[in-house]
Amino acid sequence: MRIGELAARAGVSVRSLRYYEEQGLLRSTRSTSGQRHYTEEEVERVTFIQRMYAAGLSSRTIAEVLPCVETPSEEHSDAALERMAQERDRLSEHIAELTRTRDKLDELVAVARAYRESLRLPAAG
């Protein structure tokens, strides 16, 4: 498939796909006229890349981790695996912090709502 279709199927912009390639996250075969072609697999790969971005990884980090995802072999399962585990931990910590923040927000919302209700009560109006 060509770039437009991959973009549509993965839900990203064409620009992003070219950017991913530039960053070494995505490869493409080229037609004689130079147009990029992709296989079905790439859809999933792009989705994975998006998820990594959403998890706060940079292009460089994703690039370090991706080979491990694609083809597990002895070569990269040393540094890359280490890196992946490390990013997992970082993410885990981040999730924990976000959860605390959400709880804090919950608390604040509850307090504000209670306050608002108190204003509505005839006794306290």
Partner DNA sequence: CTAAAACCTGACATTGACGTCAGAGGCAAG
Partner DNA sequence: CTTGCCTCTGACGTCAATGTCAGGTTTTAG
Interface residues for DNA in 50-109 (CB under 7 A)?
A: 50, 53, 58-59
| Nearest CA among 42, 61, 58, 52 for reference residue 3 | 42
Tell me how far, at minimum, the Cβ of 62 lies from its own copies, in Å.
Answer: 12
49: its two tokens: 């890349």
Tell me how far, at minimum, the Cβ of 115 lies from DNA, in Å.
Answer: 27
DSSP conformational letter for 37: E
Closer to DNA by CB, 86 or 118: give it: 86
Interface residues for DNA in 17-56 (CB under 7 A)?
A: 18-20, 23, 28, 31-36, 50, 53
Q: Which does 97 bind (CB under 5 to 8 A by kind): its own copies, DNA, none?
A: its own copies
Q: How far is it between the farthest Cα atoms of the chain?
A: 81
Closer to its own copies by CB, 2 or 104: give it: 104
Quick one: which H or E segment has residue 36? strand 36-37
Tell me how far, at minimum, the Cβ of 99 lies from DNA, in Å.
Answer: 21
Return the residue matching tokens 């923040």. 101
Point out which residues pair with 2 in neighbouring strands. Answer: 37
| Nearest CA among 60, 113, 105 for reference residue 87 | 60
Chain contacts with DNA (rule: CB under 7 A): 2-5, 7, 12-16, 18-20, 23, 28, 31-36, 50, 53, 58-59
